[in-house]
Amino acid sequence: MDIGRIHTPVMLERTLALLAPAVEADDAVVVDATLGMGGHSLALLERFPNLTVIGLDRDPDALEIARERLAPFGDRARFVHTVYDGIAAAVRSEGFDEVQGVLFDLGVSSLQLDRAERGFAYSKDAPLDMRMDFTRGRTAADVIAESSEDELRRIFHDFGEERLAARYARAIVRARAEAPITRSAELVAIITAATPVAVQRQGHPAKRVFQALRIEVNEELSVLERAMPAALDTIAVAGRIVVLAYQSLEDRIVKRVLQAAASSSAPAGLPMELPEHRPQFRLLVRGAELASESEQAENPRAKPVRLRAAERVRRPS
């Protein structure tokens, strides 16, 4: 496998620049909460020679590749098999009370998309799996087989923002009564047949359904809801967090949590802000930053990214 060819880290230089003021000092620690194949971690370890990186991933394949790729850095690269809402326990397990940086590169990884047998890609026929950790949990085929029509409609609407959610749920229930739906090509065919021709011209009709199933299978939004506050709690004063989100549902969670952390907690009507009400974080970018046009042209996976970042300015008293 040519890892360099299939995995180009998104907004790499911007991410390094945002983390740099917090991680340049000796003995700094960064948690790469979505390690993947280790592209961001590799760059961090090369750029900052005194840095330790704790890489988290739920995908055993990704961890195996990252271990091999980052082996030259010895004990400066640590690895924990966990979902990223387990960040606090992972940091403690490696012997640290707090860290100077946290990086989230959310969404499905290049490894998962490019290995057809994982079932994430609607463009490649494979078993309907979609588990980021293929050793446990329900598959996408299980969700398709076991969910009621109303549950399927909710999944497609809430997690895929799919306008034709009801139509697709109805078509799936009708099709599975005839035969089990176990492969991605079968599901794509059902969705395509249920899609008006005019809508098909607007893009691949299965895109949002596959996104929704992936989010449901991996509980991505509920995990992120827990992971963001947990990550902020691990960050030392002057430490920083950078988050790369690739779809609006993730970005809304990140935006809400960071804005709350960077806002005063003083009750309305107080004549002055007491020190204990001051914000614990400050935002480092205005709104969400996008990848440059040149990066989007070179790396199509950078097109939807939204980057947000913040720095801890104080601990609660």
Binding-site members for S-adenosyl-L-methionine are 38-40, 57, 84, 105, 112
Give per-residue burial for 15-53: e unless 16+ CB within 10 Å, then b. Answer: bbebbeebbeeeebbbbbbbbbbbbbbbebbebbeebbb
Q: Name the binding residues.
A: 38-40, 57, 84, 105, 112
Which residues does 68 contact at the CB level (< 8 Å), separation at least 6? none
Of 120, 277, 124, nearest in space to 209 by CA: 120
Task: Compute the distance between CA of residue 309 and CA of residue 35 in angstroms, rounded to an integer.
Answer: 18
Angle at 55 between CA 51 and CA 88, to 5 degrees: 95
Quick one: DSSP state of residue 115?
A: -
Q: Which residues pair with 308 in a beta bridge?
A: 243
Of 12, 15, 7, 10, nearest in space to 285 by CA: 15
- Hey, what amino acid is at 295? E
